[in-house]
Amino acid sequence: MDKLNKIIIGVDMAGCPNRCKHCWLGAAPNGKMEKEDVVFVANAFRPYANKSEIISWYREPDFRDDYKELWDLECQLSDEKTPHFELMSYWRMVRDKDYAEWLYSIGVRKCQLTLFGSEKTTDYYVGRKGAYSEIVKSIDILFKHGIAPRIQVFVNKDNIEELPFIEEFMDNLELESRCKEIGQEFQLFVHSGSCEGENEKLYEIIVTKEDLNRIPEKLAALTLKHFAKENLQQVFGKPEKDLIKELLGNKETTSIISTFPVFYVDANFNVYPNVTQPSPWWCLGNLKADGAEQIMDNYINNKSKAQHLINHIPIGEMVSLCGNPDSERLFSKEEYILYIQNQFCKINC
């Protein structure tokens, strides 16, 4: 087996304090892995790539109390280390007085926070009472330490009427001017997310074309700037029925094989490609039971159930069986193909 250029492995050591209804990774139970497990995972995959990188989470960053030690361990075990993602744990931020200072010390200057609307709505979609309050407190803490918040807003037919609240939120917290004070540009964007994982359960309330006019002008402008798009239709995509017409005759199959793959290892050592939700049909095997060599063989040779199906069944055939020709729901083409592939695998695996 030829070596890949680089493998990145994310390990779900501790899970997540939230149960977000939009999470494309799903809502698996929290595990409790040890540092030795991370070392085991890193060593298992190292022979199969010229370079490898290990990350001790893939749901909630810095959730464990020993997050600083885990960061150091990641650096020790990785041939190349990606800078800390512009993501943070607001659960930790309000409970750990050293956290913001530590983030700044390792180069973080922006952190993304997610809102769904008002306090009640945000708590509902995060799946935890008090989440909104923690986000507000975290924003103040970030600014005190020279870190700018970037606001992500998930929208569907259930919460789109609350977008004016987001505008008020921006103004009341003076986010634009406070970002300027620390030399950063304020960023905010609105989108609907991909229809996978937990978010698949919200299929019925995905926005349609007429909903785009309900996005306030200021939020729309910030969204277009963030995505570098000319109009909101380009951000949210086309109606499902139009995508079906476009894809019905498509005889292409899909390969996810890359010389630079990212793998996720869950708390039970099951391994998944970072392509979509970690569903059973995407599982490449169990690292403890099957070993890294078999897992790499399954990946390279399309042996998982999902990889085999998408590599052999044309997307047009999947669309004809799983698409909804009457649906006005908006999808990007790429996200719709993934949605259809997951629906097809769910039926046939």
Residue 164 sits in a domain whose CATH number is 3.20.20.70
Q: Give the C-alpha separation, 326 to 324, whole Å.
A: 6
Q: What is the pTM of this model?
A: 0.95
Same domain, 40 and 98: no
Dihedral (Cα; 29, 30, 35, 40), 10-degree rounding: 10
Which domain range does residue 140 map to? 85-236
Segment 218-245 mean pLDDT = 98
Report residue 329: phi and psi, to 5°: -60, 140
pLDDT at 255 over 90: yes
Which candidate, 91, 97, 99, places its Cα nearest to that of 71? 99
Instruction: Please report the pLDDT score of residue 228 as a whole number.
Output: 98
Cβ-proximal residues to 7 (8 Å cutoff; 6+ apart), any chain: 45, 48, 49, 51, 52, 53, 260, 261, 262, 263
Instruction: Using a pLDDT cut of 70, give the percent of the chain over it.
Output: 100
In a domain, 232, yes or no: yes
pLDDT at 152 over 90: yes
In this structure, the answer to whether residues 67 and 92 fall within a common structural domain is no
Q: Is residue 180 within a helix (H) or strand (E), and if so which, with residue range?
A: helix 175-181
Calculate helix-pair angle for 305-312, 333-348, nearest 10 degrees. 120
Based on the domain organization, do 67 and 93 belong to the same domain? Answer: no
**Domain co-membership, 160 together with 258:** no
Spatial contact of 265 and 10, defined as CB atoms under 8 Å apart:
yes
Secondary element (H or E) of residue 4: strand 4-11
Share of the chain above pLDDT 90, in %: 98
Radius of gyration of the chain (CA): 21
Find out whether 260 and 82 touch, Cβ atoms under 8 Å: no
Give the pLDDT confidence of 300-335 residue by residue, as tens digits.
999 999 999 999 999 999 999 999 999 999 999 999
Q: Is the pLDDT of residue 133 over 90?
A: yes
pLDDT band at 91 (very low <50, low <70, confident <90, very high): very high
Res. 1: pLDDT tops 90: no
Classified as helix, coil or strand, 107 is: coil
Q: Are residues 90 and 230 in the same domain?
A: yes
Question: Are residues 101 and 39 part of one domain?
Answer: no
Overall number of domains in the chain: 3
Angle at 11 between CA 9 and CA 14, to 5 degrees: 165
User: What pLDDT, on the 0 to 100 scale, is given for residue 118?
Assistant: 98
248/258 same-domain check: no
* Domain-located, residue 269: yes
Is 336 within the bounds of a domain? yes
Same domain? 117 vs 16? no
For residue 227, what pLDDT is reported?
98
Q: Is 307 within a domain?
A: no
